[in-house]
A and B are shown apart, each in its own frame.
Chain A
Amino acid sequence: MSNMEKLVAIYREVLKKPDLELKPELTARDVDNWDSLAHVQIIVEVEKKFGVEFDLDDFLAIRNVGDFFKLLQRYGVEL
């Protein structure tokens, strides 16, 4: 499974959307169930799966899925 596939699986599982397509411009506002708790769950799952730890400023900088991709790449995760 590629890193991108792992990432998509996390989003789909947390948001309970098995068909969710991850596009860079996607925001929490675009998806039902994507509340602050889901946001945190995604971050925590990604931290576990990819062995990284974000700080609060990273979290605040995420406005859409594309921002999150960039953040992960900054932490050395190849997508």
Chain B
Amino acid sequence: MSNLKIKPITNSDLALMAKFLTANLSAQFSADEWEFAFSQDWSSNKPNNGFMLLDGEQVVGVVGAIYSQQIVNGKKVDVCNINSWTVLPQYRSDSIYLLIKTIRQPGFHFTILTPRLQEMEIYRFLKFRTIVTRMIVTANLPWPFARLRGVRTITDIGALQQMLSLKDARVHREHTSSPWLKHIAVGVEGELCYVIYQRVKLKGLPTAAILYVSDSALFDKYRLALGHALLGRGALFMRLESRFNTNKPKLSLLQNYSTPTLVLSDLLKDSDVQNIYSERAALNLDGVT
């Protein structure tokens, strides 16, 4: 570490960081896309955008951090989502210091949603907890009874803002700037389940990857109506993490493998860890392999 230094990534460093990530982590995202991902306004307590490892003036490694303030059990909680940990091969003996610097920031709860499997031992060493979650894939089928039962489907931005709870209206507002995120609410008045999803391809078939569910019980209750609405929007399947939903519906597939989710927090429960304040929502993953 003697000639190296670690520096917080400020907003003015974002372009440099984004260029580094395009060159060294994934060229599937342009530097502009990386920069957008870290420019989200999800926290008034955002101290940085992660940390970078410098050799002189040259960036040789970064770890990205996406900060958010989330409401958990009625209380505002500061969450730091760690992602995009990338260090040039010759500097990898020092790469862990980037992570340690990040998790030593007081007052934050930490999540990692897209870890590489070969790094798991490092995260375990740093006391991250692994959430066991699998992907449930369900076919979206026609369900013509929705109207008969008075179930509504709402996608209009203005209507959503008016009808959602205060908490969900805020979640909605915070995610309208990403055009790849789709918003839908199903249910009856006073009992709406709000869902955010992204269109992805699953074995080449159009699928709604569910990123946010406002209420698991309501999701179960209105699942058929939601499937019908999603089918009408071109999604043949919906995919949801098992931790968001207690009931696995009939005629659904449980995928054997899914990327582990990691948490470093004495407060956040498995179901409290949100995809929507992470790279999973901040980047357009449609078409990404």
Beta-carbon contact of A36 and B1 below 8 Å? no
From DSSP, what is the main secondary structure of chain A's interface residues? helix
Known: A56-B100, A60-B100, A63-B1. A39 touches B93 (CB 8 A): yes
Beta-carbon contact of B93 and A36 below 8 Å? yes
Beta-carbon contact of A40 and B122 below 8 Å? yes
B119 in complex: contacting residue of A37, A38, A60, CB < 8 Å: A37
For A31, give the chain B residue with the smallest CB separation. Answer: B93
Interface centre among A37, A43, A59, A63 (most CB of B within 10 A): A37
Give the residues from 11 to 42 in chain A that come closer than 8 angstroms, CB to CB, to chain B: 27-29, 34-41
Q: How far is the CB of A4 from chain B (nearest CB, A)?
A: 23
Q: How far is the CB of B168 from chain A (nearest CB, A)?
A: 38
Supply 13 further A-B pairs (C-beta < 8 A) apart from A28-B94, A36-B96, A37-B118: A27-B93, A29-B93, A34-B93, A35-B93, A36-B93, A36-B95, A37-B92, A38-B93, A39-B93, A43-B125, A56-B100, A56-B126, A60-B97
Q: Which residues of A contact B (CB under 8 A)?
A: 27-29, 34-41, 43-44, 56, 59-60, 63
Beta-carbon contact of B126 and A36 below 8 Å? no
Q: How far is the CB of A28 from chain B (nearest CB, A)?
A: 3
For B2, give the chain A residue with the smallest CB separation. Answer: A63
For A27, give the chain B residue with the smallest CB separation. Answer: B93
Contact with A along B219-259 (1 / 0, CB 8 A): 00000000000000000000000000000000000000000
Chain A contacts of B125 at CB under 8 A?
A: 40, 43-44
Beta-carbon contact of A39 and B121 below 8 Å? no
Known: A56-B126, A60-B100. A40 touches B121 (CB 8 A): yes
Q: List 5 A-B contacts (CB under 8 A).
A: A34-B93, A35-B95, A36-B93, A44-B121, A59-B100
For the complex, give the distance between the alpha carbons of A66 and B93 in Å. 17
Beta-carbon contact of B93 and A41 below 8 Å? no
Contact with A along B118-139 (1 / 0, CB 8 A): 1101100110000000000000
For the complex, give the distance between the alpha carbons of A29 and B90 in Å. 8
Chain A contacts of B118 at CB under 8 A?
A: 37
Contact with A along B176-207 (1 / 0, CB 8 A): 00000000000000000000000000000000
Chain B contacts of A35 at CB under 8 A?
A: 92-93, 95
For the complex, give the distance between the alpha carbons of A43 and B121 in Å. 11
Beta-carbon contact of B93 and A40 below 8 Å? no
Q: How far is the CB of B89 from chain A (nearest CB, A)?
A: 8
Give the residues from 93 to 149 in chain B that come closer than 8 angstroms, CB to CB, to chain A: 93-97, 100, 104, 118-119, 121-122, 125-126
Beta-carbon contact of B96 and A39 below 8 Å? yes
Beta-carbon contact of B1 and A37 below 8 Å? no
For the complex, give the distance between the alpha carbons of A34 and B118 in Å. 15
Chain A contacts of B96 at CB under 8 A?
A: 36, 39-40
For the complex, give the distance between the alpha carbons of A13 and B119 in Å. 18
Q: How far is the CB of B39 from chain A (nearest CB, A)?
A: 28
For the complex, give the distance between the alpha carbons of A40 and B119 in Å. 10
Chain B contacts of A44 at CB under 8 A?
A: 121, 125
